[in-house]
Amino acid sequence: MNQIFIKEVRAFNRFYTGILGLLDKHILDSDYSLPEARILFELYHRPGLTFSDIMALLGIDKGYLSRILRSFEKNKLVNRVISPADKRSATLQLTAKGKKAFEQLNTASNEQVKKIFAGLSEKDCKDLIQRMAEIQEILDKKKQIHE
């Protein structure tokens, strides 16, 4: 790959992670790291995922995921629900406390996006969203080729 392309992509990544505050230990002034917030997101939107489902969805290390889920269980954010058909299998469910934690993160994330877009014209907002969609489309094509 062209070294200029690499340099530009990395510069953009540094710029955008700075805007979103992704290098902070905790995201959105919360008690959660980015991987923890993403796990809460997945469990909120897809109740009943298994440990393996989350590993596959997020490409997260088994040991790291185990530590996060143990912490979530200890803090009463997640329950494991044993399958009646196979006692070795369990799904993960957010508790009411876990749902509330996700909803607070979601609200903070929405506010963050509003601040990013504040001061931009409607045309600039539409252009930015269109370019984001184009980036996703291009990278999705690559992803599909390698699957």
CATH number of the domain that 77 lies in?
Answer: 1.10.10.10
Alpha-carbon gap, residue 47 to 70, rounded angstroms: 18
- Is 142 part of a structural domain of the chain? no
The total domain count for the chain is 1
Write the pLDDT tens digit of every residue in 33-81.
Answer: 999 999 999 999 999 999 999 999 999 999 999 999 999 999 999 999 9
**Which of the 8 DSSP states describes residue 29?**
G
- Is 76 part of a structural domain of the chain? yes
Amino acid present at 64 = Y
Alpha-carbon gap, residue 20 to 106, rounded angstroms: 14
Write the pLDDT tens digit of every residue in 92-143.
Answer: 999 999 999 999 999 999 999 999 999 999 999 999 999 999 999 999 987 6
Entry pTM: 0.86
| 21 Cβ neighbours under 8 A, 6+ residues apart | 27, 28, 112
- Is 141 part of a structural domain of the chain? no
Task: State the virtual CA torsion across 64, 68, 69, 75 in degrees, nearest 10.
Answer: 160
- Is 14 part of a structural domain of the chain? yes
